[in-house]
Amino acid sequence: MLDQFGRSIRYLRVSVTDRCNLRCRYCMPEEGITWVDHSAILSYEQILRLVRLAAGLGVEKVRLTGGEPLVRKGLVGLVRGIKATGGIRTVSLTTNGVLLAEQLPALLEAGLDGVNLSLDTLDRDQFAALTRRDELPRTLEGLEAALAAPGLTVKLNCVPSGDNDAQLVPLAALARDRDLTVRFIELMPIGLGDTLTRRTEDEVLSRLEKAFGPAIPCPSDPLAGPSRNVTFPGFRGQVGFISAVSHQFCQSCNRVRLTATGFLKTCLQYDHGVDLKALLDTGADDAALLEAMAEAIGRKPASHHFGGSRQARDEGRNMNQIGG
């Protein structure tokens, strides 16, 4: 469906849990986390029902995220159910990769189309410092398993900060020899995102061009999202930039988010949207849910205001509660 600014909303990101097996510094605090009670989290049946209704409104691409989606039991069944939903063309997963190698065969069998794996450094000590867990070996196993899976679209997501400057070139170099897109996602001032130093797209690109030569722009696929992709001489894969702060892309935003607690969130930065779990809990029928979803999507805000001063309805959740 179209929102109030004529943007066609075709992409739903579904957070299945706020739990995670890492503690990335820009995403979650080390301690003092209040977990959402299990009773407040959408069941898989409820997620499937909402995905079916969203598909009726024009959503055709679903991404499962978290927290860490692979820590929630039974995710394979959810993937299978979403894949079987009429109108949904692709189901993909954003994961830190720690549990991926062991779960990938079943996920592939259920129809998973793509994996975005988050990885900010190839240095084990730095990984442990950035994520507060010594899990680089298992993450790399997950990456290798994904790259070996025939037909699976694999992307690597890195958030450049002052802490991993020296890793940007080695990470991008993975796209030189592998059929992989390595994307640099600008740190956003959500949750703990303000506690690290942002490196902009221009800063990262200039480092990469010094190492690999002049960037060659790649054609963009509108359904693939806001990533601006380039390649470098001799590269097999691509390097992408998702730069919400320095190169705002809100005019072409095609996504909404469903939090683990059932809030349909229409812009990353604001708390705008509708509490679908509250409606589900009061026994709302499909027509009432559809009406609430359509109304919220229709009123999707024009743009975020990252970089500006705080506003009354700014998001107060941390990224693990939203799904990125």
Note the residues at the interface with ligand SF4 (CB under 6 A): 20, 22-24, 27-28, 66-68, 96, 118, 319-320
Min dist CB 20 to ligand SAM, Å, is 6
Cα(314)–Cα(272) distance, rounded to whole angstroms?
A: 9
Residue among 238 and 321 whose Cβ is closer to ligand SAM = 321
Binding partner selected for residue 157 from ligand SAM, ligand SF4, none, CB under the kind-specific 5 to 8 Å limit: ligand SAM
Contact 322, 259 (CB under 8 A): yes
Cα(87)–Cα(8) distance, rounded to whole angstroms?
A: 15
Binding partner selected for residue 28 from ligand SF4, ligand SAM, none, CB under the kind-specific 5 to 8 Å limit: ligand SF4
Cα(127)–Cα(97) distance, rounded to whole angstroms?
A: 13
Nearest to 27 by CA among 36, 40, 18, 14: 18
DSSP 117: E
Residue among 100 and 110 whose Cβ is closer to ligand SF4 = 100
Residue among 139 and 254 whose Cβ is closer to ligand SAM = 139
Min dist CB 227 to ligand SF4, Å, is 18
Residue among 23 and 317 whose Cβ is closer to ligand SF4 = 23
Nearest to 98 by CA among 120, 117, 84, 78: 117
Min dist CB 281 to ligand SAM, Å, is 25
Binding partner selected for residue 23 from ligand SAM, ligand SF4, none, CB under the kind-specific 5 to 8 Å limit: ligand SF4
Min dist CB 193 to ligand SAM, Å, is 3
Cα(215)–Cα(213) distance, rounded to whole angstroms?
A: 6
> What contacts 298, CB < 8 A, 6 or more positions away?
1, 3, 4
Min dist CB 138 to ligand SF4, Å, is 12
Min dist CB 294 to ligand SAM, Å, is 27
Binding partner selected for residue 237 from ligand SAM, ligand SF4, none, CB under the kind-specific 5 to 8 Å limit: none
Contact 264, 318 (CB under 8 A): no
Question: What is the β-pairing status of strands 255-258 and 238-242?
Answer: unpaired
Cα(248)–Cα(226) distance, rounded to whole angstroms?
A: 9
User: Phi and psi of 246, rounded to 5°?
Assistant: -85, -25
Residue among 131 and 269 whose Cβ is closer to ligand SF4 = 131
Min dist CB 286 to ligand SAM, Å, is 29
* Binding footprint of ligand SAM on the chain (CB under 6 A): 20, 26-27, 65-68, 94-96, 118, 157, 159, 185, 187-188, 190-191, 193, 319-320, 323-324
Binding partner selected for residue 187 from ligand SAM, ligand SF4, none, CB under the kind-specific 5 to 8 Å limit: ligand SAM
Residue among 190 and 279 whose Cβ is closer to ligand SAM = 190
Contact 54, 218 (CB under 8 A): no
Cα(32)–Cα(13) distance, rounded to whole angstroms?
A: 27
Residue among 20 and 258 whose Cβ is closer to ligand SF4 = 20
Nearest to 117 by CA among 175, 158, 173: 158
